[in-house]
Amino acid sequence: MADYDYDLFTIGAGSGGVRASRVSAEFGARVAVAEERYLGGTCVNAGCIPKKLLVYASHYGSDFEDCAAYGWTLGARSFDWATLIENKDREIERLNGVYARLLDAAGVERIEGRAHIVDPHTVAVGERRLTAANILVATGSWPNVPDVPGVEHAITSNEAFHLKSLPERVAVVGGGYIAVEFAGIFHGLGAETVQLYRGPLFLRGFDDDVRAALAEEMRKRGIDLRFEATVEKIEKTGAGLVATLNDRSAVEVDQILYATGRLPLTGDLGLEAAGVELDSKGAVVVDAYSRSSVPSIWAIGDATDRINLTPVAINEGIALANTLFNDRPTIPDHEDVPSAVFSHPPIGTVGLTETEARERYGEVEIYRSRFRPLRHTLTGSEETTLMKLIVDRASDRVVGAHMVGPDAAEILQGLAIAVKCRATKAQFDATIGINPTAAEEFVTMRSPV
């Protein structure tokens, strides 16, 4: 590889690209990474981290209401959006610095600018021409907004993190996890919120019981959910924005956020000219080892549109480094990947949905529990928690676990280990619960429904 400037040239310094670059350098490879925007990618700058900080902020309103039942008396309170955004920005800036130091410590050369693939072994960044034995595409994804008249007046999640003020009335368009999360954020912070989705029920791909339970809980909180609703046009008026829907009704708001999916950010990189195969969405087509149709060009993360989660991109990056520079060819593991939706209330899930399990195994047993959390026995809140286990009847193995309720993500992370280890329902039943907790319900459900 001495004939090239680098052993690995990474395009994109998001979580996957950074991890692949760092680990490759630690294995002795000569590595450079080019980034045109910000270190840390979507997750750190316009995704997981800032979103979770806003989710934390949005929970305080209901917490303040609940505390009276426990003897607390609060004085006057108010919320200041500008303070939240300023503090969020400070934390993101700190994380940008952390990523820079990690790359520097590993000996990875950082290059600021947009990289363009010239040929299978050459990358251009500005006027520079750099060569590499291997090129890694880790450019992530970008919000996709449909072509609707007036859509230029709307924003995406990218802009939502930088609004100058909190809108009083918000419409969120979309039915994926980003849409339900932002609907909860805006509503929790005090905005009048409506969520519009074109299908009969949001969160397609999640377990049907989970989808229905979340819709019920969001409506209890006062979020205006409207399914089978599409925006036909958007008009700007002196009082804000007016969205005309497919049923000819109108929604008047101050801000419209589109969360209608994301597409791989692979355009204008020179991939097709270099011979790299892309699918209809623009995702890089890769084999099990993340190699593209061009042997020297690889891709990981959202750019491949496999499982678009930060920990998955990191896992793919580590596998790639082992494959290329540690003499240990590694296929990234995409089975039983746990995930969470930080909605109000949150979702945690791992393994198969009930529909998927029936298709794969045929005979399954379903264990399901719906109850009011102990905390709300004093507050009077009607919020309920849903827990669900899906068991392959032939092997007794738990093949899916799902939850809607407080701390769902924290609880499901532990259950993900059990599912990954192919634990059986009998082993769940033999596990002593921690009392009193919601989590103990997962080891005390005895009768299938």
Over residues 28-37, the mean pLDDT reads: 97
Q: Is the CB of residue 377 less than 8 Å from the CB of residue 371?
A: no
Mean pLDDT of 50-60: 98
What is the overall mean pLDDT for the chain?
97
- State the CATH architecture for 151-260: 3-Layer(bba) Sandwich (3.50)
Q: What is the pTM of this model?
A: 0.96
How confident is the model at residue 258, as a pLDDT? Answer: 98
Is the pLDDT reported for residue 1 higher than 90? no
| Residue type present at position 244 | T
Q: What is the pLDDT of residues 135-158, one digit of tens each?
A: 999 999 999 999 999 999 999 999
Place 2 in a pLDDT band, splitting at 50, 70 and 90.
Answer: low
CATH class of the domain at 339-443 = alpha beta
pLDDT band at 161 (very low <50, low <70, confident <90, very high): very high
pLDDT of 199 over the 70 cut: yes
CA 389 to chain centre: 23
Rounded CA gap, 13 and 11, in Å?
Answer: 7
- DSSP letters spanning 87-139: HHHHHHHHHHHHHHHHHHHHTPEEEES-EEEEETTEEEETTEEEEEEEEEE--
Cα 130 to Cα 127: distance, rounded to the nearest angstrom: 10
Q: Where in the chain do CATH 3.30.390.30 domains reside?
A: 339-443
The Cα 62–Cα 58 span in angstroms is 8
Contact indicator for 104, 413 with CB cutoff of 8 Å: no
* pLDDT of 168 above 90: yes
Q: Find the helix or strand (DSSP H, E) in which 376 lies.
A: helix 376-379
The domain 6-143+263-325 is placed in CATH, from the list 3.40.50.12780, 3.40.50.11540, 3.50.50.60, 3.40.190.10, at: 3.50.50.60
Beta carbons within 10 angstroms of residue 85's beta carbon: 20
Paired residues of 237 in beta bridges = 240
Mean pLDDT of all residues in 402-413: 98
CB distance 216 to 210 below 8 Å:
no
What is the structure's pLDDT at 427? 98
Among residues 92, 106, 96, which one has the least CA distance to residue 10? 106
pLDDT of residue 150: 98
Give the whole-angstrom CA distance, residue 223 versus residue 172. 11
Tokens of 211: 């989808």
Q: What angle do CA 290, 295, 301 make, to 5 degrees?
A: 25
Tally of residues, the chain = 449
The C-alpha R_g of the chain, in whole angstroms, comes to 24
Beta bridge partners of 390: 366, 400
- Render pLDDT for 251-283 as a digit per residue (tens, 0 to 9): 999 999 999 999 999 999 999 999 999 999 999
- Please report which residue ranges of 110-236 form alpha helices under DSSP H: 157-160, 177-188, 208-221
**Residues 171-189 pLDDT 10s:** 999 999 999 999 999 999 9
Contacts of residue 210, defined as CB under 8 A and 6 or more positions apart, other chains included, come to 203, 347, 349, 386, 388, 402, 403, 404
Average pLDDT over residues 304-321: 98
Helix (H) or strand (E) holding 46: helix 41-46
Q: Quick one: average pLDDT of 286-303? A: 98
Question: Start-end ranges of CATH 3.50.50.60 in the chain?
Answer: 6-143+263-325, 151-260
Cα gap 239→150, rounded to integer Å = 16
The count of other CB atoms within 10 Å of the CB of residue 230 is 16
Residue among 81, 77, 94 at smallest CA distance from 39? 94
Percentage of the chain surpassing pLDDT 70?
A: 100
